[in-house]
Amino acid sequence: MDAFYASVEERDRPELRGRPVIVGADPRGRGVVSAASYEARRFGVDSAMPIGKAARLCPHAAFLPVDMEKYARVSGQIMAILSEYSPLVEPISVDEAFLDVMGTDRLLGPPLEVARAIKAHLRREVKLTASAGVAPNKFLAKLASDLEKPDGLVEVKPGEEMAFLKDLPIERLWGVGRITAEAIRRMGIETIGQLAGLPVQVLERRFGKSGRHLHALARGRDDRPVEPFTPPKSMGAEETFSSDHRDLERLEVTLRAQAERVARELRLAGCLGKTVTLKVRFSDFRTVTRRLSGEPTQEGLEIFRRARSLLEGVRLVDPVRLIGVSVSGLVSSDADQLHLFPDPAVRRARLAQAVDALVERFGDRTLIAARLLMRPRQQD
């Protein structure tokens, strides 16, 4: 979808159309931009940019808070429409998905016509525009969908993969961020075509196993199937503070709240996680991460204890701008075998489920850890 959050807001508030629209944190705070309309992007505003910088670049924009409940509802409508064209739909975010339309030619026509039909259906039903890429594999389809936004449609036919890629900059390859791009440029490589011309052994010596992957992508090869029911790989929460600080008590209280939020998401998804990851970003944007693995868990207190032990190993020399916790190594909670007699872990799990039921019925502050009672709701 094109500038999804901002486009939904413009659809629902016609007076915003034609104006720069920025969805995200309060511009007086320290959060980030979640979405920017194309009018705002002309001023240099983009997603994940600090909201203060966005306000300086485009002070006359309409700044709106994130309404995730509304966006999720619209996302459900979009995914339902996509499923009418293929049973193989793989959502990769709230506003983006892969479809495998192989074998639908007799019913729906060639793939390019399917993409046109989907775009028209979305415009008609949800009053939003989408950009589509049609290609032999996921990498090329994703790349093609980004090239002519908004309301774009780009096709890469079988046999044209190398011609399509050859003049594009190396940053267009999946997995090539700033650091990898700098390393590739030091080899005298600027375009994907130049990278594809290197022997794969050269890339393997320089980048290890990922070198072979880069070489395959540069030649337009990607064998991953469209997977409709891919389970989540991790769940997490993070928070940008309204002002940088070194207050250890405040950091721990923030982690406690985040751990409870992540634990509830794990329980709702029927998952347990083995690895807890702590993320700390300092005032100079230096970011450190620490990981600790143990028995699979979906308990907020256990997640917090692991995160706190990781925080104890981080030197808080500079003020902290952001802190977050995530849980990965997920397994199904169905695999968690209950013992014949309840042990403390089983009792805590049952207690958590009872709390979830109360929260679901009476609200998210019905039962909370005592340590969080005085914690104000964050607006960032």
Give me the active site residues, please. Answer: 96
203 Cβ contact list (under 8 Å, min separation 6):
195, 211, 212, 214, 215
Find out whether 279 and 326 touch, Cβ atoms under 8 Å.
yes
| Pairing mode, strands 132-134 and 153-155 | parallel
What is the three-state SS of 318-352?
CCEEEEEEEEEEEEEHHHCCCCCCCCHHHHHHHHH
Joined tokens for residue 370: 């005592």
Joined tokens for residue 47: 């997603």
How many residues belong to the chain?
A: 380
Q: What would you report as the CA-atom Rg of the chain, rounded to the nearest whole angstrom?
A: 23
Joined tokens for residue 317: 């020399």
Q: Cα dihedral sign for 328, 331, 333, 335?
A: negative
